[in-house]
A and B are shown apart, each in its own frame.
Chain A
Amino acid sequence: MKGVLKKISQINFGLMSPEDIRTMSVTKIVTPDTYDEDGYPIENGLMDPRLGVIDPSLKCRSCGSKGGDCQGHFGSINLARPVIHVGFADTLHKILRSTCHTCGRILLTDSEIVDYKGKFEYLMNNEDSLTNIIKEIYTVARRDKCPHCEEEQEDVKIDKPVSLVEGNYKLTPSEVRERLEIISDEDALLLGVNPEVARPEWMILTVLPVPPVTVRPSITLETGERSEDDLTHKLVDILRINQRLKENMEAGAPQLIVEDLWELLQYHVTTYFDNEASGVPPARHRSGRPLKTLAQRLKGKEGRFRSNLSGKRVNFSARTVISPDPYISINEVGVPDLIAKEVTVPVHVTEWNMEEMKECIRNGSDVHPGANYVIRPDDRKIRIYEETKEAVIDKLEPGFIVERHLKDGDIVLFNRQPSLHRMSMMAHEVRVLPYKTFRLNLCVCPPYNADFDGDEMNMHVFQTEESRAEAKTLMRVQEHILSPRFGGPIIGGIHDHISGAYLLTRESATFTEEQAFQILRKAKMAIPDRTGETWSGKQIFSLLLPKDLNMVYKAEICRKCDECLKRECKNDAYVVIEDGQLLSGVMDEKAYGAFAGKILDHIVKEYGTDRAREFLDASTKLAISGIMKAGFTTSTNDEEIPLEAKERIEIHLHKAEEKVDQLIEAYENHELEALPGRSLEETLEMKIMQVLGEARDKSGEIAESYFDINENHAVIMALTGARGSMLNLTQITACVGQQSVRGGRIDRGYNERTLPHFRKGELGAKARGFVHSSYKEGLDPIEFFFHAMGGREGLVDTAIRTAQSGYMQRRLVNALQDLNVKEDGTVMDNRGVIIQTTYGEDGVDPAKSDYGKVVDLDKLIDEMRIKSGK
């Protein structure tokens, strides 16, 4: 951050004239060879030392600076005959078609010229896109007769990639160039060539710039062999043919041979620019790999633009496997000491931190709160070694910068790819911990979409005070509890946090004072005064709630009864919190779960993000100690149902299958009535699907009726929203149900049947992929096969979906990224076009809203009335 910061205000694009290229060139390249026998670069060869140096020990012969500082200098090749630049072949074709081949004027009448000129000026003054008007001119100016010299015009065709054919005669680049030269500047402008920066004839190359060696460095293999860059290879080809062409021309070789060589030169120059141009066989390496030439370097995902300019590799970053740590706060990250000793924070030495920094240097680079480098005011960077430590400490004075190790409390950026939304990159506080993984609180798994099956994450350390300040105010985890997507919490309790809270707060949970205090102690909460009474779980949980919190809502376990009994709810699903006391209802996903937590949501909005962080840290810890007190496990025993239930399910499924057979019979006897707008076959399929769907649901319901939420942990998890669903459970116990491919029953495989085990044309439940068994009983081979079919479709679907939605998101972000709210509340893009006069029609930030609304009026009124005592 030293010196004057210069700002680039604009970049002008233009074509280089042959003269420009020659002036820029430091040397003419003539010899196609690179190095001589001794391994020295040949003068006037492609590795001419005047083109710049890479080796830091050498000095550049053109600019005198050392390798690394010298950015290289261009050379040039004089082409024996002009060639067409591939990228402009299309434009050249259009220009030739729109100009008179004798007088060189544009094929527009004078009035049209005046007309278009006006439009052009208008557009150029506004810096609007010229694409449309140029396209229009190209179509209008396609005349059979020149309006200026009355000459008949022959149509020019393009033979991809670069041949321009007039009638039956193929124009040589020289002829094309002659025609372009006589086009006046005014006409050129209308043809889309801005005379201020380009001339049409410059699109035909007479001299070729040779990029400096820094652009095409050669690599030395382990064997000592030199391997040249693809561009160098291509330039060698060009030089070789250019040389031969020149010799042949000077020797007065027959026209045919010269033309052949000319074509060849054109080919090499073409592939030098773009090796994927349509109609040209790509130039290949000896191994058969197509060469990566100029266009390929820039283009695409791995190209210069997307890979090196829009995204860059950085220092002060780390990546490792993640693992959970429920004892650190949500806005912390556990950083392995190994990493903490490698990535550093630059600290400006002042009189106040002098001692601290000296201590760091004394620790050196191997002991944790140490330092790795010291930067002197003259920008020299000194590594701290055991031997040099003392000397460095002696010299240390204000103005130095010490690159010290990462320590507890530093703020870092933490990220998991794919970074689909802004919550994929959040600022955390460092906690240096032993071992080799990043540790994170489980509540931040949902925003990162992380799990611990081997996921890795990245960490970046801020290097400036501004960035730290910005991160601290904008990027900290607690600032992102509410998702801007829907204005609700995206960070919150998951899995055991939820079942734990349920176990703790359900009606039957009562504890002796000792037990209650044990739980509180384990959760690292303050122990209240002894009262000697038994505690209910609800009382324990109430200790965490803000003292003036008033809320009423229905919990996740709510069964949506026809008539709500409110506080008398049998399932204890009606949550009432008055003045911070949980009076009825259980805590589950709706309380503080990610995506659903109402209490959490309320706390963030009413009490601020810091309070919400504290609440989340404390409540998850309490839930964990609660679950540890009660004990929690699940096994297939949870999916056990009595024989009686199994029989009922069996009878039910049997009935459904019979019903399917009846439907098929009706269909075969032509008794089935088609639904409006559907064929008979479709109607049958739909009805069968419906019957089988209901059969699965009903058998599930039967199984469910034997489950008891008070004893069955799997059911607790499903109902509280901790993990799994009732559907999962019923599929394990009762019946897996219909397998589908492409949204219908399975009907593919053999001719007219799915498997050879069935008769042709059989339509029964089993023959079309209905899985009658449950997962626990096990599937028979046929069912297993159908199940695998359905499963495979799911996998393929996911793979395709990720690719498609990824591309859609890239396009969306690219289209919208320049939008920005201005001071007056309007939304404008970078052209200055107003997109919205008020953001979102009311100027409300969805991330600060209450599920899209400014406030929930009903909630507000309820609150008001509670406060005023009504």
Chain B
Amino acid sequence: MQETIEKVTKVVKKKRAKFPESYIHDIALAAERHDLDDDELDELVRRVKRAYERAKVEKGEAVGTVAAQSVGEPGTQMTMRTFHYAGVAELNVTLGLPRLIEIVDARKKISTPTMAIYFEDEFKNDEEFVRTIANKIGKSNVNDILQDFHVNFAEMNVVAELDETKIKDKRLDFTDIINRVEKTFKKAQIDNNILSFVPSKSNIRELRLLADKVRDLQISGVKNIGKVVIRKEEDEWVIHTEGSNLGAVLKMEGVDKVRTTTNDIHEVEKVLGIEAARNAIIHEAQRTMDEQGLTVDVRHIMLVADMMTADGSVKSIGRHGISGEKASVLARASFEETGKHLLRASIRGEIDHLTGIIENIIIGQPIPLGTGSVGVVMKHK
């Protein structure tokens, strides 16, 4: 493979073509697939070069508007419902138009955060290891490991008997559990696997509340993550989660730092940085579209993502983000919150340089895009 790439690079250089790296890779792949000889490779590169030159964007093209329309137009054809995530019937994930709006809005709290956790090569087929990790990540509370539980109204206490098999099944550590219980319930009496609790005030109401509290006590799990589902995908084990905490999960041993993802864009930004957030936006938007059977060119989605992340932080599309921070007063006023922007501009003495589209439409001048982005200078005779 490496050889072919080098060969192709040489031919490309000879033909004085300026291809992006991915093209060279693709050509090399195709060359191997079809077993091209040197002449054919020459011819192929020549043809690709010609096609590439023909397909270039024209200068001045209103790529932004085209991208916005291409992303927005299929919105009318999307469904509104939350469907099951392809393959994982156990988890509900927001899809369709609501999800797309969520992405574009750059919501801080998305409605169904979820993670796909992959493992490094040495662990990815180790079911036992994956299950241990899954139980470490997934939320479990005392209720999940009970063998017997009763509220004793006569003695005014709550007795919980832990089930060792269940604990083992969940790959939890007994002492860990006890520590957690002791930390929350200072007055708990622990006798091997039988725990008894006494309410602070001796009345039935308190007792019942205590019983619920004991049952709901979380004994393991990563913050913000609820249910986990373990699945065998192709030839490896993958954990899907409800809820997301990328930072904590990536710190775990054995987790593949490269492939593990979350659908929470802000979390990606926080943990991995703005470039990763951009990729996350592209990936999520593309997936939402694909899932609905709609084809939208990546370039459009890329542009939306690049616009959202251009200033170094994820900004929403709308009045609290990009549109609200435009330089032009008129552009902001014509979008939303007209009065606010005009009043603010007046006391600050803002100046509108009329470089955008909407401003020029408002004052009745040709817009600086496409045909309007060039001028003709005549020689004076």
Q: Which residues of A contact B (CB under 8 A)?
A: 7-15, 87-88, 91, 127, 129-131, 192-194, 196-198, 203, 274, 295, 298-300, 303, 305-306, 309-310, 420-422, 470, 474, 484-488, 675-678, 686, 742-743, 797, 800-802, 804-806, 808-809, 811-823, 825, 827, 829-831, 833-836, 838-849, 851-852, 854-855, 857-858, 860-861, 864-865
B356 near A818 with CB under 8 A, answer yes
Interface residue B57 (Cβ < 8 Å from any Cβ of A): yes
**Contact indicator per residue, chain B 320-343, by CB within 8 Å of chain A (1) or not (0):** 011101111111011100110011
Q: How far is the CA of A820 from the CA of B65 in the complex (A)?
A: 9
Q: How far is the CA of A337 from the CA of B68 in the complex (A)?
A: 38
Interface residues of B in 63-103 (CB under 8 A from A): 63-76, 78-83, 89-91, 97-98, 100-101
Query: Assuming A310-B361, A848-B55, is B298 touching A821 (CB within 8 A)?
Result: no
Interface residue B303 (Cβ < 8 Å from any Cβ of A): yes
A742 near B318 with CB under 8 A, answer no
B56 near A9 with CB under 8 A, answer no
Query: Assuming A309-B334, A816-B304, A817-B357, is B229 touching A677 (CB within 8 A)?
Result: yes
Q: Taking the nearest CB of chain A, how far is it from the CB of B114, in angstroms? A: 12
Q: How far is the CA of A459 from the CA of B266 in the complex (A)?
A: 46
B69 near A805 with CB under 8 A, answer no
Q: Taking the nearest CB of chain B, how far is it from the CB of A19, in angstroms? A: 16
Q: Taking the nearest CB of chain A, how far is it from the CB of B348, in angstroms? A: 5
| Closest Cβ neighbor of A5 among chain B residues | B365
Query: Assuming A808-B75, A861-B36, is B303 touching A819 (CB within 8 A)?
Result: yes
Q: Taking the nearest CB of chain B, how far is it from the CB of A746, in angstroms? A: 15
| Closest Cβ neighbor of B71 among chain A residues | A812
Q: List 15 other contacts, CB 8 Å, given A813-B68, A819-B303.
A: A8-B365, A10-B353, A127-B353, A298-B333, A299-B338, A420-B72, A470-B371, A677-B91, A825-B59, A830-B356, A857-B30, A857-B48, A858-B30, A860-B44, A864-B43
A13 near B351 with CB under 8 A, answer yes
Q: How far is the CA of A351 from the CA of B361 in the complex (A)?
A: 37
- Most-contacted residue by chain B among A295, A818, A849, A864 (CB, 10 A): A818
From B230, B331, B339, B355, contact of A295 by CB (8 A): B339
A820 near B373 with CB under 8 A, answer yes
Q: Taking the nearest CB of chain B, how far is it from the CB of A54, in angstroms? A: 23
Task: List the B side residues contacting A7 at CB < 8 Å.
Answer: 365
Task: List the A side residues contacting B369 at CB < 8 Å.
Answer: 820
Q: How far is the CA of A274 from the CA of B337 in the complex (A)?
A: 13
A816 near B307 with CB under 8 A, answer yes
Q: Taking the nearest CB of chain B, how far is it from the CB of A293, in angstroms? A: 11
Task: List the A side residues contacting B98 at CB < 8 Å.
Answer: 804
Q: How far is the CA of A9 from the CA of B354 in the complex (A)?
A: 7
A91 near B347 with CB under 8 A, answer yes
Task: List the B side residues contacting A809 at CB < 8 Å.
Answer: 68-69, 72-73, 75
B362 near A845 with CB under 8 A, answer no
A421 near B70 with CB under 8 A, answer yes
A822 near B59 with CB under 8 A, answer yes
Interface residue B203 (Cβ < 8 Å from any Cβ of A): no
Q: Taking the nearest CB of chain B, how far is it from the CB of A411, in angstroms? A: 16
User: Can you give 17 A-B contacts (C-beta < 8 A)?
Assistant: A10-B352, A13-B350, A193-B348, A198-B349, A306-B334, A421-B73, A484-B70, A485-B295, A676-B230, A800-B80, A809-B73, A812-B68, A815-B321, A818-B326, A820-B64, A829-B307, A864-B44
Q: Which residues of B contact A (CB under 8 A)?
A: 20, 22-23, 26-27, 30, 33-34, 36, 40, 43-44, 47-48, 51-52, 54-76, 78-83, 89-91, 97-98, 100-101, 104, 227-230, 295-300, 302-304, 306-307, 310-311, 317-318, 321-323, 325-331, 333-335, 338-339, 342-358, 361-363, 365, 368-371, 373
Task: List the A side residues contacting B62 at CB < 8 Å.
Answer: 817, 819-820
Q: Taking the nearest CB of chain B, how far is it from the CB of A383, in angstroms? A: 27
Task: List the A side residues contacting B334 at CB < 8 Å.
Answer: 305-306, 309-310
A861 near B365 with CB under 8 A, answer no
A854 near B55 with CB under 8 A, answer yes
- Most-contacted residue by chain B among A13, A127, A196 (CB, 10 A): A13
Task: List the A side residues contacting B339 at CB < 8 Å.
Answer: 87, 274, 295, 298-299
| Closest Cβ neighbor of A276 among chain B residues | B339
From B20, B69, B74, B81, contact of A743 by CB (8 A): B81
| Closest Cβ neighbor of A13 among chain B residues | B345
Q: How far is the CA of A141 from the CA of B25 in the complex (A)?
A: 59
Q: Taking the nearest CB of chain A, how far is it from the CB of B241, in angstroms? A: 10
A13 near B318 with CB under 8 A, answer no
B333 near A843 with CB under 8 A, answer no
From B78, B229, B353, B373, contact of A805 by CB (8 A): B78
A15 near B347 with CB under 8 A, answer yes
Q: How far is the CA of A442 from the CA of B378 in the complex (A)?
A: 45
Task: List the B side residues contacting A854 at CB < 8 Å.
Answer: 23, 48, 51-52, 55
Ordered nearest first, which 3 A-B pairs have the shortest CB separation?
A819-B64, A809-B72, A805-B75
Task: List the A side residues contacting B300 at CB < 8 Å.
Answer: 484-485, 846
Q: Taking the nearest CB of chain B, how far is it from the CB of A673, in angstroms? A: 14
Q: How far is the CA of A743 from the CA of B95 in the complex (A)?
A: 13
Q: How far is the CA of A131 from the CA of B302 in the complex (A)?
A: 29
Q: Taking the nearest CB of chain A, how far is it from the CB of B231, in angstroms? A: 9
Q: How far is the CA of A843 from the CA of B353 in the complex (A)?
A: 29
- Most-contacted residue by chain A among B67, B81, B98, B361 (CB, 10 A): B67
Task: List the A side residues contacting B328 at CB < 8 Å.
Answer: 830
Q: How far is the CA of A129 from the CA of B60 in the complex (A)?
A: 27
B297 near A849 with CB under 8 A, answer yes
Q: Taking the nearest CB of chain A, how far is it from the CB of B15, in angstroms? A: 15
Task: List the B side residues contacting A797 at CB < 8 Å.
Answer: 79-81
Task: List the A side residues contacting B26 at CB < 8 Å.
Answer: 857
A305 near B373 with CB under 8 A, answer no
| Closest Cβ neighbor of A449 among chain B residues | B76
A860 near B47 with CB under 8 A, answer yes
Task: List the B side residues contacting A203 at CB < 8 Å.
Answer: 347
Task: List the A side residues contacting B362 at CB < 8 Å.
Answer: 305, 309-310
Task: List the B side residues contacting A844 at CB < 8 Å.
Answer: 52, 55-57, 299
B101 near A804 with CB under 8 A, answer yes
| Closest Cβ neighbor of A203 among chain B residues | B347
Query: Assuming A677-B229, A805-B76, is B59 touching A823 (CB within 8 A)?
Result: yes
Task: List the A side residues contacting B357 at CB < 8 Å.
Answer: 817-818, 830
Q: How far is the CA of A300 from the CA of B337 in the complex (A)?
A: 8
Q: How far is the CA of A677 from the CA of B84 in the complex (A)?
A: 13
Task: List the A side residues contacting B297 at CB < 8 Å.
Answer: 484-487, 840, 846, 849, 852
A815 near B323 with CB under 8 A, answer yes
Query: Assuming A9-B354, A797-B80, A842-B20, is B64 touching A818 (CB within 8 A)?
Result: yes
Task: List the A side residues contacting B317 at CB < 8 Å.
Answer: 811-812, 815-816
Task: List the B side residues contacting A193 at CB < 8 Å.
Answer: 347-348
A845 near B58 with CB under 8 A, answer yes
Query: Assuming A676-B229, A677-B91, A801-B78, is B299 touching A840 (CB within 8 A)?
Result: yes
Q: Taking the nearest CB of chain A, how far is it from the CB of B87, in angstroms? A: 14
A198 near B347 with CB under 8 A, answer yes
Task: List the B side residues contacting A300 at CB < 8 Å.
Answer: 338
Task: List the A side residues contacting B311 at CB < 8 Å.
Answer: 833
Q: How far is the CA of A808 from the CA of B82 in the complex (A)?
A: 19
Task: List the B side residues contacting A303 at CB < 8 Å.
Answer: 338
Task: List the B side residues contacting A129 at CB < 8 Å.
Answer: 325, 327
B363 near A15 with CB under 8 A, answer no
Q: How far is the CA of A814 from the CA of B318 in the complex (A)?
A: 8
B338 near A811 with CB under 8 A, answer no
B97 near A11 with CB under 8 A, answer no
Q: Taking the nearest CB of chain A, how far is it from the CB of B63, in angstroms? A: 6
| Closest Cβ neighbor of A863 among chain B residues | B47
A811 near B78 with CB under 8 A, answer no
From A274, A811, A861, contact of B318 by CB (8 A): A811
Task: List the A side residues contacting B79 at CB < 8 Å.
Answer: 797, 801
Query: Assuming A10-B352, A127-B327, A842-B23, is B347 touching A88 (CB within 8 A)?
Result: yes
From A833, A843, A851, contact of B57 by CB (8 A): A843
| Closest Cβ neighbor of B98 among chain A residues | A804
Task: List the A side residues contacting B227 at CB < 8 Å.
Answer: 677
